[in-house]
Amino acid sequence: TMLTPAKQETIVITAGGTREAIDPVRFIGNRSTGKMGMALANAALKAGYRVHLIVGQVEVAVPKSPHLIVERVETTRDMLTAVERAFTTATGLIMAAAVADYAPAEVATQKLKKQGDAGLTIQLQQNPDILATMGANKRADQWVVGFAAETNDLDTYATRKLMTKQADLIIGNDVTQVGAGFGTDTNIVTLYQNGQAPVRLAPATKAEVAAQIIQFIQQRF
Ligand code: PMT
């Protein structure tokens, strides 16, 4: 039945955007709503997987299921810690979250005051790369899937991310395309695998795209 997963396998899925604090009232964020990640969680549950969902900032409801664990995080570092812990007992990871590459080097403990006409400079330092960390440390029986959100040269950058992050699959989306990327209910994606021709999926709802991605993963990994 729907309540008994056919598999005991767990997939770790990240959804939404990370936030990096500047001071107690301000943060650096991004436009992810969590729709793509949530659609993947639903599709994985439907396909009979257990899901450990790690959620940043989202604008949509989190699914409810006895086969779902939900963990909320704020920063990239929080997300890394949660993913590392969850992945030890999982077979796969899908990083649909939009993760901040940089965070303020120091978080002000008090609200920053206006600095005047000279402007304000915030020093940023690079965050760890969660997907690359998991790609480098995965066991032979584990797979990792990432996204590539690009505004140009999707094939080039997605293929590069496949290599540098040691991912088994990269799902590329050109976020400047109408009906693709952040906030939309639809997506237009291409699947990149090492040594294979890119697989371009037809534009479809995020639910349909997610179902196709889960099916692709089931067939290959
Ligand atoms: O949430 P929605 O509104 O539905 O929008 C969906 C989406 C556009 C967010 C989604 O389809 C998507 O593309 N997610 C990935 C966004 C992103 O951070 O892409 P990237 O190309 O910057 O990163 C590449 C991959 O590395 C991603 O899997 C990302 O999760 C991961 N990453 C990035 C940086 C970092 N420090 N650690 C990471 O793990």
Instruction: Judge if the beta carbon of residue 192 lies within 6 A of ligand 1.
Output: no
Residue 4 lies in a domain: no
Which numbered atom of ligand 1 lies nearest the CA of 30?
9
| pLDDT tens-digit series, residues 163-187 | 999 999 999 999 999 999 999 999 9
Q: Which of 14, 20, 102, 147 to mutate to test the pocket of ligand 1 (most atoms within 8 A of CB)?
A: 147
Residue 94 lies in a domain: yes
Q: CB–CB of 54/15 below 8 Å?
A: yes
Report the distance separating Cα 121 and Cα 96, nearest Å.
31
Range of the domain at 168: 10-109+121-220
Residue 171 lies in a domain: yes
Closest residue to atom 31 of ligand 1, CA basis: 131
Closest residue to atom 17 of ligand 1, CA basis: 98
* Strands across the sheet containing 10-15: 68-72, 50-55, 10-15, 92-95, 143-150, 169-174, 189-192, 199-200
Residue 1 lies in a domain: no
User: What ipTM was assigned to the predicted interfaces of this complex?
Assistant: 0.99
Residue 3 lies in a domain: no
Minimal CA–CA distance to 172: which of 198, 147, 143?
Answer: 147
CATH number of the domain to which 134 belongs: 3.40.50.10300
Assess whether 42 carries a catalytic annotation.
no
Residue 144 lies in a domain: yes
Q: Is 131 annotated as a binding residue?
A: yes
| pLDDT tens-digit series, residues 101-119 | 999 999 999 999 998 998 9
Closest residue to atom 13 of ligand 1, CA basis: 149
Is the pTM value of this prediction over 0.90? yes
Q: How many domains in the chain?
A: 1
Residue 163 lies in a domain: yes
